[in-house]
Structure 1
Amino acid sequence: MSATDAIQNRETREPAFGFWRRSYAMLVKEFIQLRRDRVSFAMIIMLPVMQLTLFGYAINTTPRNLPTAVLTQEDSDLGRSILKAMQNTAYFRFTQEVHSVAEFDELLQSGKVLFGVEIPRGFERAVRRGDRPALLVAADATDPVASGSALGALGPLVQTALAHDLHIGDPPEMPFEIRAHARYNPAAESRLNIVPGLVGTILTMTMLIFTALSVTREIERGTMESLLSMPIKPVEVMFGKIIPYVIVGFVQAALIIGIGVVVFGVPIIGSLTLLALLTTLFITTNLSIGYTFSTIVQNQLQAMQLSMMFFLPSILLSGFMFPFAGMPVWAQYIGEGLPLTHFVRIVRAIMLKGAAMENLRYDTIALACLMLFAMTVAVTRFRRTLD
C-alpha cells in the first residue's frame, strides 16, 4: 500500500463514537433553536394545557341551567310550584319574565333564551276541576343537543316533583298536559344546526391562515424591504392585503351556503341581503385578526401555529360543536370575545329563525368592535415595523 493510500484511509476512518457525538451535537443545536423560537416553545406548553382545560371543564354535552323566559298569565300557588319544580331539575334557569307573547317570541328569535314557559290564565282552576289544561313550553331547537335533553326530562321530573303538592296517586298521574313546541328545527335534524355553523368555522380557518401568512411571506421572500421603501401608509397596506381576501371569503361563504341549501335542504328563512352583509363583516373581522397575527410572528410556521391556537378555542367555545349556554360562566366570557361565537348565532338566526337586524344588534355590534380592535392593533404594530 502506498503512503498516499494510507493517509486517505486514516482520513476516512470513522472516529470512535463519531455517530453519537454528531447526533448529540444536533440534539443540542435543536434545543437551542427551540429555546430561541419562543412561539413554538409556547405552543408545546399551551396546546395540551388548553385542550385539557377546555375538554375537562368547559365542554358539556348535557347542558344545565339553560336560560328560560316565563310568561305567567295568572299568579297562583300551583304556577309557582311548577316553576320551582322546573328550576329544581337543573335544566332550566329563569332569566326573563315577559308580559306578552310578542316579547316571548322576540327573546327566542334573538337567542337570548332557549326556552319559554307559558302558564295560561285559569290554569290552576282547570287543574282543580280535572280538565287537564296545557302548560306551554317553547324551545329553541336550532341546537338539538341543548334542547333535547331538557325537553326529554321535563315531564317525568316535574311530575315527580309535584306529586306531593298535588296529592296525585302512585304511580303519579299528571293532572295537566305539558305541551312542548320545538321551534325552528322541530325534527331535531343535526344538519340544520351543523351546516350554518360550518360557514363560520370554515371562514375562520381559511381567513386566519390567508392573512396570517401575508406579511411573514413578504419578510421571508425579501419583498418587505421593497414594500417599506414605497410611499405607502400602514392602513393602505392593510386594506390592500385584506380586500382581495374579503372577495375570496365571500365566494367561499356563497359556495357553502349554496351547497347547504341545494344538497342538505337547509332553509334561508331570513333576509339573504342581511346574511351577506353580516358575513362580510365577519370575514373582515377574521382577516383583521389574521393580519394582526402576521405582525406578531417572525415566520410562516409561527403564523400557522398562532392561527391554530386561536382556531381551537373558537371551534370549541363558540357554540358550534357544543351548546354555548351549557358552558361555565368563565368559558362563556372567553367565547364572547371570539368572532365565531357571534357569527354562529347570526347565521343560525337568519337562516333558521328568519331573524331581522333588530334581533341581532348585540352580535353585530360585538363583531364590529372586535374588527376595529384588531385593525387598530394591526396598524399600530405594522407602523412599528415601518419605523
Structure 2
Amino acid sequence: MSVAEAPDHSRDSKEPRFGFWRRSYAMVVKEFIQLRRDRVSFAMIVMIPVMQLLLFGFAINTTPRNLPTAVLLQEDSDLARSILKALENTAYFRFTREVHDVAEFDNLLLSGKVLFGVEIPRGFERAVRRGDHPALLVAADATDPVAAGSAMSALNMVVQTALQHDLHIGDPSSPPFEIRTHARYNPAASSRLNIVPGLVGTILTMTMLIFTALSVTRETERGTMESLLSMPITPVEVMLGKILPYVLVGFIQAILIIGIGVLLFGVPVNGSLTLLALLSTLFITTNLAIGYTFSTIAQNQLQAMQMSIMFFLPSILLSGFMFPFAGMPVWAQYIGEGLPLTHYLRIVRAIMLKGATLPNLQYDAIALLALMLLAMTIAVLRFRRTLD
C-alpha cells in the first residue's frame, strides 16, 4: 500500500471523547433558543391544541338546541300559549320573534334570522275542542339539514305528549291536532346542497389568505422591499397593488367552484347571479385585506403562513360550515360574527338555495364591508410603522 493510499487516522485520534453527543447537544440547545425567539411558532405550538380542545369541547354541537324561532300567533288563547310552552320545553326551539303577518313570517326565514316558524291559525282552540283535528304549521329553514332535522323529528312525539299531559285533551292514540311540517329550501334534506355552497367560501378563504399573507414577507426575503420603499408610492397604493390582481384570481375560483356545483352536484342558483358576484367580490377583497394585514405583521413567510392557519381554523369551525352555527354557545357565536366566512356562508346559501335579495342580506353585507375596512386600516397603519 502506498503512502497516498494509507488511511488517515489522525482525525480519529484527535476526536474528543463524547464529541458526537456534545455537538448534538449544542444543536439541540441552538434549536430551542431559535424556537424561543420565534414567538409566532411557539404560539402555534401552544395555541393550536388549546384552540382545538376548546372549540371541539365547548363550541361544537352536532345536536343544536335553542334554535331561533318565530311565531305567527293568529289567536291568543290558553291552548296556543300551552303549545308554545311545550315547544320550548323540547329545548330545540327558542322563540325570538312574534310576527303579525305571513309576509314578515316568510321574510325572517328567507333572511336566516330564524330557523323555524310556528303558525297557529285562528279558531285553533275551538276546532280542537270540537274534535276537528286542525293543523298547526311548523316551517323550517332546511338549508342545514343537521340543524333542522333533530328539532323536526321531535315535534310530533314531544309536543303532542306534552299537550295531552298538561291539558288532558284528546286520546293518546288520536292526537287532538295535526302538525304539518314544511321543510323549505331543501325539502329532501340533501347535505350537498348545504356543503357545496359552503365550499365556495371555505376554499376562497384558504387561498385568498395565503396569496396575500405571503406578499410583503416575500418582498422582504427576496430583498426587493428596499427598492419598493424607495419609490414615490404610498402604503395605500402598495396595498391596492398587492390585493387587486388576486381579486380577479378569486373571482375565477368562485366561478369555477359554483359552476362545478351546479353542473356536477345539481346545486340550484335561485337568486341573482349579479348579486352573488358582487357580494363574492366583497368577500374575496375582505379576505385579501386580512391576509395582507398578516403579511405586514409577520417577519417571514413561515410566520405569515402560520398566522393564516391560526385564522383559518376558527373560521372553518365557527362559521357554520361544519357545524350548525345556531347550536353553538353565545360566546362562540360572538367570535363567529367577527369572521368573514360566517357572513358569506349565509349570503351564498341564501342566494343559491333561497333566492334571497339584497334587503334580506343587508346585515351580512354590511358586516363584510366593515371587516374589510377594518383590515385595510390596520394594514395601512402597520405598513407605515414598517417604513420607520
Task: State if a TM-score over 0.5 links the two structures.
Answer: yes
Aligned to 1:17: 18
Tell me the residue number matched to 2:62. 61
Q: In 2, distance between residues paired with 1:177 and 1:2?
A: 106
Contact 1:64 1:326 (8 Å CA) reproduced: yes
Q: What displacement does 1:15 show?
A: 2.6
Give the alignment of 1:153-168 within 5 angstroms.
Answer: 153-168=154-169
Alpha-carbon distance in structure 1 between the residues aligned to 2:76 and 2:130:
18
> Aligned partners of 2:250 and 2:190: how far apart in 1?
27
Q: Once superposed, what is the RMSD of the aligned Cα atoms?
A: 1.7
5+ residue gaps, structure 1, are none
What letter is aligned with 2:293?
T
State the TM-score, normalizing by the size of structure 1: 0.97
What SS does structure 2 have at the residue aligned with 1:116? strand
Aligned match of 2:211: 210
Alignment partners' CA distance in 2, 1:119 and 1:363: 31
CA contact (8 A) 1:140 1:183 kept: yes
Aligned to 2:233: 232
Q: Which consecutive aligned stretches of 4+ in structure 1 deviate over 6 angstroms post-superposition?
A: 1-7
In the aligned structure 1, how far is the partner of 2:240 from the partner of 2:298?
20
Task: Show structure 2 runs of 5+ residues with no match.
Answer: none
Cα displacement (A) at 1:2: 12
The answer as to whether partners of 1:159 and 1:172 remain within 8 angstroms in 2 is no
- Tell me the TM-score normalised to structure 2 length: 0.97
2:280 corresponds to? 279
Q: Residues 172 and 77 from structure 1, CA distance in 2 versus in 1: closer, same or farther, beyond 3 angstroms?
A: farther
Q: Which residue of 1 aligns with 2:27?
A: 26
Query: What displacement does 1:18 show?
Result: 1.4
Q: Percent identical across equivalent pairs?
A: 83
> Contact between 2:115 and 2:140, CA under 8 Å: does it hold in 1?
yes
Letter in 1 for 2:164: A
Structure 2: distance between partners of 1:165 and 1:300: 65
**Offset of residue 19 of structure 1:** 1.4
Whether the 8 Å CA contact 2:170–2:176 is kept in 1: the answer is: no
Whether the 8 Å CA contact 1:163–1:172 is kept in 2: the answer is no
Q: CA shift at 1:9, angstroms? A: 2.2
Q: CA deviation at 1:171?
A: 4.3
The residue number in structure 2 matching 1:103 is 104
CA deviation after TM superposition for structure 1 residue 348, in Å: 0.3
Report the counterpart of residue 309 of structure 2 in structure 1. Answer: 308
**How many pairs does the alignment contain?**
387
For 1:334, the equivalent position in structure 2 comes to: 335
Q: AA paired with 1:10?
A: S
Within 5 Å, give how 1:332-371 maps onto structure 2: 332-371=333-372
Aligned pairs (5 A) from 1:34-49: 34-49=35-50
Q: CA deviation at 1:81?
A: 0.4
Q: Give the distance between the partners of 2:171 and 2:9, measured in 1 at CA.
A: 99
Answering whether residue 116 of structure 2 is matched by residue 115 of structure 1, we say yes
Q: Any idea what the Cα deviations from partners look like across 1:287-336, whole Å, max 9, x if unmatched?
A: 00000000011111111111000000000000011000000000000000
Distance in 2 between the 1:35 and 1:367 partners? 36
Measure how far apart 1:6 and its partner are. Answer: 11
Secondary structure, aligned partner of 2:118: strand
Structure 1 residue 170 displacement after superposition? 6.8
Cα distance in 1 for residues equivalent to 2:6 and 2:186: 86
Q: Secondary structure at the match of 1:319?
A: coil
**Aligned-partner residue type, residue 266 of structure 1:** V
CA contact (8 A) 2:86 2:163 kept: yes
Cα deviation, 1:173-221, whole Å, max 9, x if unaligned, reads: 3110000000000000000000000000000000000000000100111
8 Å CA contact 2:337–2:343 kept in 1: the answer is yes
